[in-house]
Amino acid sequence: MPHNRARLDLPPVTARTLVKNLAAAADGPATVSGWVETVRDQKKVQFVVLRDESGAVQLVHPRTDVEEPGSDPLATTISGLTTGSFLTVSGELKHDERVKLGGLEVKIETLERASTALDLPIAEDSSIDKRLDWRFLDLRRPEQNLVFRVQTTFLHALRSWWVENDFIEIHTPKLMASASESRAELFEVEYFETKAYLAQSPQFFKQMAQPAGFGKVFEVAPAFRADPSFTSRHATEFISVDAEISWVDSHEDVMRMHEQLLVAGLTAVKEKHGAEIEAAFGVEVSVPATPFPRIPLAEAHRILESRGYTVPRADGDLDPEGERRLSEYVREEFGHEFVFVTDYATGIRPFYHMRHEGDPSLTNSYDLLFNGTEVSTGAQREHRIEVLVAQAKDKGLDPEELGFYLDFFRYGVPPHGGFGMGLSRVIMLLLHQSSIREVTYLFRGPNRLTP
């Protein structure tokens, strides 16, 4: 007897059809599974809108208990359905252009209730905080389903571009012995007999891949910032999209890589979801032309001042209003949703950013703005050990505390650079949403650790 004979003797599994595939199916028997969105319990006929992960379909049941109430068990079951209950329904699929929902319906023959829902605690007009309290229910909304399908398509396109261009995917540790950026933004955790810190970025470890000879690397992974900000674009845990490449001549090489990557991602989103995004969010996805506009920070200040706005920050970094106004200028002048703001002052940037040759007050770095908000920082890194040590001291850092990092540069390393980009910010701005809370699967902020 074959080893798998018992499996072969099992009864066939009922074929479930996704709602999105019903339109292409012929009239006849069909089985669908999903949750109840609405029930219209009329005197002569009952209608149920059933939604699954791909769409919604109308189910119909002509009652047979009009003359004898209670004589139709199926009608009694449908009358007792609650919003959110999960069902499997088999019946007769019929295409009918008179049906407003998709031009088809399924006449119910059998109904199996997988689970019964209590009265739902949220509604479409509930506040964002209340919806986040019940995020698993909030995610049932078709707009939310679309958000994460868009994110999936976007990330798949980025990965495909990286792989096609010979990048290596890495997974760096999120428990660290010391800071990778500002110590003020570290989460400290107990680690056996000592302390560890949650990684703010994979910066040091993706740079480690350069002396390792990997050449070009990428990572998509969580990062953590102990930043007590309550803005629409900040989170304490977020997904960081990172890349680092060897043998760059300047940050211009990083920007070229960055913009090609984004064009690949947005092209895929537009091709697969463009019509859905326009219907759900009223947003037309556009694929940006390359090269993206590039504006040095000093010139950005002059542009803003000529338009009646002076950036209030003492260090000269752009504030959110400055980013928004500069992006308005770029849309007017270049018809573009993106702009690289380049050549940041040394005082704004970390010690490992390479400084301009001949002008150490500036760095080979950039911020990328998308629809009025910064989504990424990139730079050429300083790879010369003696210069790196001097720059660390200039920032008030102790080279002894940076020992493991500085070791990367003591045994040979090529010129290199890269960027880190916040995934939720990109998706938020792509879909013109008001907050990253709307596009993060489970948001984490200063006052939110659940669900």
Mean pLDDT to the nearest integer, 322-342: 98
H-only helix segments in 65-141: 73-79, 128-133, 135-138
Asked if residue 381 belongs to a known ligand binding site, the reply is: yes
Residue 289 has pLDDT above 70, yes or no: yes
SS3 state of residue 258: helix
Residue positions counted in the chain? 451
Q: How many CA atoms lie within 13 A of 412 on its CB side?
A: 2
pLDDT at residue 185, rounded to an integer: 85
Structure tokens at 120: 């739902």
Bond preceding residue 291 cis, omega within 30 of 0: yes
Place of tokens 């990572």: 219
Q: For 351-385, write each residue's pLDDT tens digit.
A: 999 999 989 999 999 999 999 999 999 999 999 99
> Binning pLDDT at 50, 70 and 90, where does residue 415 land?
very high
Annotated binding residue 219: no
Q: Is 244 annotated as a binding residue?
A: no
Structure confidence at residue 6 (pLDDT): 45
448, 268 in Cβ contact below 8 A?
no
Phi, psi of 413 (to 5 degrees): -150, 140
Q: CA angle 398-400-404, nearest 5°?
A: 120
Quick check: 63 and 46 in contact, CB under 8 A? yes
- By the 8 A CB rule, do 342 and 301 touch? no
Residues 150, 273: contact at Cβ < 8 Å? yes
CA dist list (Å): 320 to 273, 335, 370, 426, 436: 29, 20, 12, 16, 15
DSSP label at 411? Answer: S
* pLDDT for 182 beyond 70: no
Instruction: Give the domains, in start order, of the chain with CATH numbers.
Output: 5-115 (2.40.50.140), 136-438 (3.30.930.10)
Q: How far is CA 328 from CA 331, 370, 375, in A?
A: 5, 11, 16
Chain-centroid distance of CA 124 in Å reads 22
**Annotation-wise, does 236 bind a ligand?**
no
* Spatial distance between the Cα atoms of 52 and 32, rounded to a whole number of angstroms: 8
Band of pLDDT at residue 66, cut at 50, 70 and 90:
confident
Instruction: Answer yes or no: is 225 a known binding residue.
Output: yes
Distance CA 90, CA 62 (A): 15
Q: Round to the nearest angstrom and report the end-to-end CA distance of the chain.
A: 50
Half-sphere exposure of 420 (CA within 13 A, CB side): 18
- DSSP, collapsed to helix, strand or coil, labels residue 232 as coil
Angle at 97 between CA 91 and CA 101, to 5 degrees: 70
Q: What's the pLDDT band for 70 if we cut at 50, 70, 90? A: confident
377 annotated ligand binder: yes
Asked if residue 436 lies in contact with residue 425, where contact means CB atoms within 8 angstroms, the answer is: yes
Give yes or no for residue 10 having a pLDDT over 60: no
Q: How confident is the model at residue 179, as a pLDDT?
A: 67
Cα 91 to Cα 77: distance, rounded to the nearest angstrom: 16
Helix axes 142-164 and 251-281, enclosed angle (nearest 10): 150
pTM here is: 0.93
Residue 183 marked as a ligand binder: no
